[in-house]
Amino acid sequence: MNSDLPKVLHPLAGKPLIAHVVSAARAIHAEQICIVHGHGGDRVQAALSGKDLVYALQVPQQGTGHALQQALPRLSKAPVTLVLYGDVPLVRAATLQALLKAAGTGVAILTAELDDPAGYGRILRDKAGRVTGIVEQKDATAAQRRIGEINSGIMALPTARLAKWLPQLKNKNAQKEYYLTDLIALAVKDSVPVAAIKADDAGEIQGVNSRAQLAQLERTHQWQQASQLLDAGVTLVDPLRFDLRGALHCGRDVQIDVNCVFEGRITLGDNVSIGAHCVLKDVTIGPGTRIEPFSHLDGAQIGARCRIGPYARIRPGTQLGAEVHVGNFVEIKASDIGDGSKANHLTYVGDASVGRNVNIGAGTITCNYDGATKHRTVIEDDVHIGSDVQLVAPVRVARGATVGAGATLWKDVPPGGLAINPKTQEYRAGWQRPRKPVKRTTGRN
């Protein structure tokens, strides 16, 4: 990976590769999850959490069989041990359930048919089609390399047998490593049944050994997620230009334009429309709301039938009521905006409570921070705020009041009436603007 970051911590869809694997194990109710680590183990442990996780150190690293040897003392008494890989993140819980069912009291391995099996171990079968072993690419004969069925490395093994089988592993191979795959031959020797099931999608067993492979896997995963949304009735203008880095729940007739990024937990109500190039993180959006292009929403709750953007920024702690309009280049942070209120142009609203049917003019800002403490602005129902107004918090504008353009408020405004700062305008005839001095250049004959 050419990186200081341990490979299994490189992100796929916004979370570490190994976190996807741990999620799959938890989805099938694993009794315990033992993570075998070497380089960067402290960073791996810091990135994961859970009482079901235990760790085993593998130093030196002498192959997959050697890794399981290190894990053996930490394994629970569960009858089956399932072997997964921290850099093979897309295996599905349903596939793992099928593998466990196929194993029964024996062994089961997950395989796949590949057009180009180069680099993978090949599945060996007898004339009756029974699995007899696995041969690694570097140890395979020319005939064996032509076999298209490959070993994913994912397998289910009887835990009670591991204490006997693992000490029998030898490193007499091209890589001088202890292969986990050699356990299959030991199982056959002991007359333990070996089952093989094939993954429905080869992407499930695809691993990561380079940034190029990680990028390919990202697109594979995003296509899978996009396909699920399409099947559920969501309109994606271009499924190839869509990124989900969390969980997205959509109502009926949701439309999502190109190059949108969804992070964390997002809920979109019925008939929500998301414009191009938007970023949404941990937001809930009510039905009928339209998010215009290039808008960023983070940690907010948006009501029904709102209009947001384009180029709007909604920051954490914001709650918008129904039919709120937030226009271009408007930023809202930690504020509550009541039903029917509008801030359509070039405005900043922070740490504010805004009532219903309030109009906030262009260029208005809440001055909420004094350098040490955030203060709150309160604007009650039916207030009209003119353009270019500064509200110096803490300040309250009472119901029905009007604030004239250009005003600076640092005192509370009573209900009704007009709040302004008196201004004068002068005219000076013949006044000349300052001029820049003329730069002189010199030349040579």
What's the rounded Cα separation, in Å, for the pair 17 and 206?
12
Cα–Cα distances (Å) from 340 to 82, 91, 305, 309, in that order, read 56, 47, 10, 16
Dist CA 73 CA 81 (whole Å): 13
Clarify whether 345 is annotated catalytic: yes
Given 277, 345, 375, 384, which residue is catalytic? 345
Q: What's the CA angle centered on 364, arms 360 and 365, to 5 degrees? A: 120
Q: Please, which contacts does 336-341 make with residues 24 or more away whose CB atoms are closer than 8 Å?
A: 338/381, 339/303
* Residue of 380, 385, 430 lying closest to 409 (CA atoms): 385
d(CA 202, CA 207): 10
Name residue, tokens 């202890």: 178
Catalytic residues: 345
